[in-house]
Structure 1
Amino acid sequence: MPHSSFDSGAVNRPIKPTAAFMLAHPAHTIALGLGSGLAPKAPGTVGSLWGWLSWLVVQNYLSLPQQALLITTAFFAGWWACTVTARHMRISDPGAIVVDEIIAMWLILYLVMPTNFWGQLTAFALFRFFDAAKPGPVAWADQLFKGFGWRGGFGIIFDDLVAAFCTLCVMALWRWF
């Protein structure tokens, strides 16, 4: 029998994202946050920073209803992109997928702006805490929709939306007192 260099085990191995992978499909480009998810260290933090910085630009060009429409559209496009990209990477919730952090940061900033740099930094830091540490409701949300397919794609975004909600609750309490 001739020797084959094909490793049948390679078919099921997770795919490590690269710039070529990102550019191979529009869903990959969206899910990987236009490349911010390719950061070798802390891609979720880099994606959150990209969300913060991009929002500072976006808010100057769009009205409040247009901003709300952008976030809503990004949610549905992100859901699709997360679903496709996770399946192509063969990982149910890859760290390189950061569109969920971007959408969550946009939602947070949409609701807390106008605020100064320190308010924005606080929102960023709180969101990163809730997203990374996954206390209470965020851990629950993270486990609720696991797997592949549309359910898994939604789950990738859902726990970040819960982390955003927790961030907004803490900021509201902070402003109250």
Structure 2
Amino acid sequence: MTTSVRPDLRFLFSHPAHFVACGLGSGLSRFAPGTAGTLFSWAVYSLIRPNFDEIGFLVFLLVCFVGGVLACHRTGRDLGVVDHGSIVWDEIVPFWLVLFFCPVGQFWWQTALWQTAAFLLFRIYDIFKPYPANYFDEQVKNGFGVMMDDVFAGLYTILSLAVLHFVLGRLL
């Protein structure tokens, strides 16, 4: 996935697509850039979400997805690796979708627990890439493929959270 080419700040700011695809810099992390991008997504969600109603936020995500396809494609081409490890916009946008559908607790700590579970599940699905995520990762070598494998990780996470919420609701 990654190569010996490690993007730096100069690369990050050399083109707007690089800045976006590298998660506004979070993808430059030397340790687990995908995790760093997901943590960045989680950190800024509460700053972004209040600015939109539900439909507006979904439209925002769609625009971020389409822009991400273009930005990830350009950045992957410029780095010489379609899904370079520093490209993390594909983690950021789907995780915003996960947080949007994440259960909300009565107390802040309950919401934090659900979001922590969402983070862990998303990272697991992103790493192991169950079908069809693996198809997009292995066969669709462009910005769309880069974004879609993480969209499926997000959808699996949302489904898992819904099942957990249902089961726990029955047990408690």
Could you say whether these structures have the same fold, taking a TM-score greater than 0.5 normalized by the shorter chain as the test?
Answer: yes
Cα offset, 1:132, TM superposition: 1.2
* Amino acid of the structure 2 residue aligned with 1:98: V
Give the corresponding residue for 1:8.
none
* Amino acid of the structure 1 residue aligned with 2:115: Q
Q: Runs in 1 of length 4+ with deviation above 4 angstroms?
A: none
Give the secondary-structure state (helix, strand or coil) at the position aligned to 1:95.
Answer: coil
Please say if residues 45 and 96 of structure 2, whose CA atoms lie closer than 8 Å, have aligned partners that are also in contact: yes
Give the corresponding residue for 1:156.
146
Give the corresponding residue for 1:138.
133
For 1:166 and 1:92, how far apart are their aligned partners in 2? Answer: 23
Cα offset, 1:82, TM superposition: 0.4
Cα offset, 1:67, TM superposition: 1.0
How do 1:84-123 residues align onto structure 2 when only pairs under 5 Å count?
84-112=74-102, 114-115=104-105, 116-123=111-118
Give the secondary-structure state (helix, strand or coil) at the position aligned to 2:81.
Answer: coil
Please say if residues 94 and 150 of structure 2, whose CA atoms lie closer than 8 Å, have aligned partners that are also in contact: yes
Cα offset, 1:46, TM superposition: 0.4
Please report the RMSD computed on the Cα atoms of aligned residues, expressed in angstroms.
1.5
For 2:6 and 2:39, how far apart are their aligned partners in 1? Answer: 22
Instruction: Select the residue among 107, 127, 135 that pairs with 2:122.
Output: 127
Q: Which runs of 5+ in 2 are unaligned?
A: 106-110, 168-172
Cα offset, 1:14, TM superposition: 6.5
Q: Which runs of 5+ in 1 are unaligned?
A: 1-12, 147-151
Cα offset, 1:162, TM superposition: 0.7
Please say if residues 37 and 98 of structure 1, whose CA atoms lie closer than 8 Å, have aligned partners that are also in contact: yes
Instruction: Select the residue among 47, 54, 63 that pairs with 1:57.
Output: 47
Structure number, greater radius of gyration = 1
**Number of equivalenced pairs:** 160
For 2:165 and 2:28, how far apart are their aligned partners in 1? Answer: 36
Residue 36 (1) aligns with residue 26 (2): yes
Cα offset, 1:140, TM superposition: 2.8
Residue 67 (1) aligns with residue 57 (2): yes
95-104 vs 13-22, which moves further: 13-22
TM (norm. structure 2) is 0.87
